[in-house]
Amino acid sequence: MALIELAGIERRFQLGDTTVKALAGIDLTIDAGEYVAVMGPSGSGKSTLLNLLGLLDRPDIGHYRLEGRDVTTLSADEQAKVRSTRIGFVFQSFHLVPRLTAAENIALPMMLAGIAPAERARRVTAALKDFGLDQRADHKPDQLSGGQRQRVAIARATIMQPPLILADEPTGNLDRHTGEDVVNLLEALNARGVTLIVVTHDPGMGERARRRLVMEDGRLQSDSAGAPG
Amino acid sequence: MRPADILRFARDAAAGYPLRTTLSVLAMAIGVAAVVLLTALGDGARRYVVGQFSSLGTNLVIVLPGRTGTGGFNPATAITSTPRDLTIADAQALLRAPAVRRVGPLAVGTSEISAGGRLREVMVAGANRDFFAIRNFELAQGEALPDDDWQRAAPVAVIGAKVQEELFGREPALGRLVRVGDRRLRVIGILRPTGQGLGMNTDELVIVPVALAQAMFNSNTLFRILVEARSREAIPAASTQVLELLKQRHRGEEDVTVITQDAVLATFDKLLGALTLAVAGIAAISLAVAGILVMNVMLVAVTQRTGEIGLLKALGAPARTIRLAFLTEAAMLSASGALVGYGLGEAGAFALRQLFPVFPAYPPDWAVIAGLLTALSTGLLFGFLPARRAARLDPVQALMKH
Ligand SMILES: Nc1ncnc2c1ncn2[C@@H]1O[C@H](COP(=O)(O)OP(=O)(O)OP(=O)(O)O)[C@@H](O)[C@H]1O
Ligand SMILES: [Mg+2]
């Protein structure tokens, strides 16, 4: 079943007098459980596409169906609800709240969703263990290494058990070795059935994805799903 | 988001920026402390003056012999007479005035009092039983002068607390005989100690029947007549009736002066009440300033935490949650400021009372409540704008600011 269906998506930005078409007519279908890498030169619209898929941004033209439901027409609060339960984000710069501990950062989506403290504690303990962070539960982000921070961020993205994980250059701020770790974690999630969409500049990482989208000037230049092999 | 989580989140956010949190709490605290302390001062002054005046008696009309005040020079009275004296009969006549409830004649002089070989100089007041009620004299032991004919000079005395202590020490004084001048009097009552007030110091006073005092001082005049009107409203009527009656008795001559203490008191009360209000108003301005400071602090917080707000939105927080979190933080800042300020203000008022025990520097309840409510509502009011700004941030833009 198609998890994501994009039809005729356009996203324009007004920069002074000129209009930039960050996305210029995207048609795309992604099935549940897929592992997709989005590649392409800088400024080609990869982040814009991901933000749109994550309901952080709205298209100017076109329709976006998530799990069969048209989400472009939802109100801001309804979209927030979808983000809370259906989508997990992993960012290049981690985006951890500096004053909260690793455990509190992981629990943040559950706290925002109003989940009871006991249930939160249970899930956080399990997540800390899964991601090898049990010794780091009470550490603030500035007491963690880059790799550990990104693991906290991935734990946070998965804590609400969303069917879709969006990662924008998750290894961009990491060295090769720790980046490898993070990719393994994300792939393990995908192996358990979570749909994974990763924006990356790293061809090696792109190779590992089962499907590669290459963007250029706001368009899909190639889609390995359509190509043979 | 659960209310407990919102509270904790807001608290941690405030604690995460100690300097700006301390500053805004301090500003709010100073504002509230100023309201509490200044109104304590103002209201204390009002209470002090009112208390001093009402210790003289309520609904009081005082009659003095002689024409004083604004009458100016009157050739007729200048030629015809020296003013007539006030007599006990004059005082008794005043009881006929319908607006008058009680009349207390007063004759004064000094004399020596002795008992058990100890002797001292005292002020002797000749009065009657109603005089005690009019002046609100309270007795520590025994009772007031007997309620009999004002012309009867019963050989009894009520003595002040200090006189009792100096003559009798720890021994019981009630029922003992004392010598006042050349009379032997029985002590029938002892006044409750009061200390120094606006009126005479009753601790060093000896009160005897007015006829006895006149006999002792060999005169038949009164120093004052104290008149208690039936009610506050009856005071003007009482004073005109008193004046009229005495004029009749003095062959049509207006040779007495009538003072009403309530008029003076009311003016003071109003004046000092207005002063307290004005002072509270000035202090409230500092609260408004504190509110604006909280707003600025919260606006800075929104700017500083733009990335965090974007993240919260990405993680699924609806606008309402973000608004609530920031509003709660602003409310916390102003609430803790208000509490600290209230504590400081009460401590200041307490220190004032310790330094000046006679001065009742208690902040009035209305000022405390108004101060706290103003602090909270300015905090919320000025917190609303930053909270709304935070809630309206575009998630993508906000995230990029991280
Ligand atoms: N908020 C914005 N305002 C104006 N222009 C924008 C905005 N966001 C993106 N753009 C423009 O849209 C285009 C696509 O940007 P996008 O960030 O999606 O590129 P990208 O493929 O993610 O690039 P990179 O690899 O450098 O991250 C760029 O030309 C960019 O300048
Ligand atoms: Mg990008």
Give me the average pLDDT of each 10-residue run along chain B (402 residues).
Answer: 91 89 89 89 83 75 74 45 78 92 93 89 93 88 89 92 89 91 92 70 90 91 91 87 90 83 73 82 80 82 87 93 91 90 93 87 88 84 86 86 61
CA of A213 to the centre of ligand 1 (A): 17
**Which ligand lies nearest the alpha carbon of B401?**
1
- pTM of the predicted structure, to 2 decimals: 0.71
Give how far A84 is from chain B: nearest CA, Å: 4
Domains identified in chain A, total number: 1
DSSP A172: T
Domain boundaries, position A206: 2-223
Q: Which residues contact B22 (CB under 8 A, 6 or more apart)?
A: none
A45 touches ligand 1 (CB under 6 Å): yes
- List residues of A whose CB lies inside 8 A of any B CB: 51, 54, 56-57, 76-77, 80-85, 89, 91, 93, 95, 97-100, 108-109, 111-114, 156, 160
Is A208 part of any domain? yes
Give the Cα separation of B242 and A183 in Å (integer).
Answer: 105
Is A40 part of any domain? yes
B316/A80 Cβ within 8 A: yes
Give the Cα separation of A108 and A118 in Å (integer).
Answer: 14
Q: What pLDDT, on a 0 to 100 scale, did the predictor assign at position A15?
A: 87
**Which ligand lies nearest the alpha carbon of A202?**
1
Examine the predicted complex and report whether its ipTM is higher than 0.95. no
Number of Cβ atoms within 10 Å of the Cβ of B55: 16
pLDDT tier at A70 (50, 70, 90 boundaries)?
very high
CATH number at residue A140: 3.40.50.300
CA of B319 to the centre of ligand 2 (A): 25
Closest atom of ligand 1 to CA, residue A46: 21
Is A157 part of any domain? yes
B contact residues 241-270, partner A, Cβ 8 Å cutoff: none
Q: What pLDDT, on a 0 to 100 scale, did the predictor assign at position B200?
A: 62
Is A30 part of any domain? yes
Is A228 part of any domain? no
Is A229 part of any domain? no
Chain segment A127-167, per-residue pLDDT in tens? 999 999 999 999 999 999 999 999 999 999 999 999 999 99
| B69 touches A: beta carbon within 8 Å | no
| B137 touches A: beta carbon within 8 Å | no
Of the candidates A77, A100, A108, which has its C-beta nearest B315's C-beta? A108
Is A36 part of any domain? yes
B316/A85 Cβ within 8 A: yes
Q: Looking at the DSSP assignment, which residues form a beta bridge with residue A10?
A: A24, A61
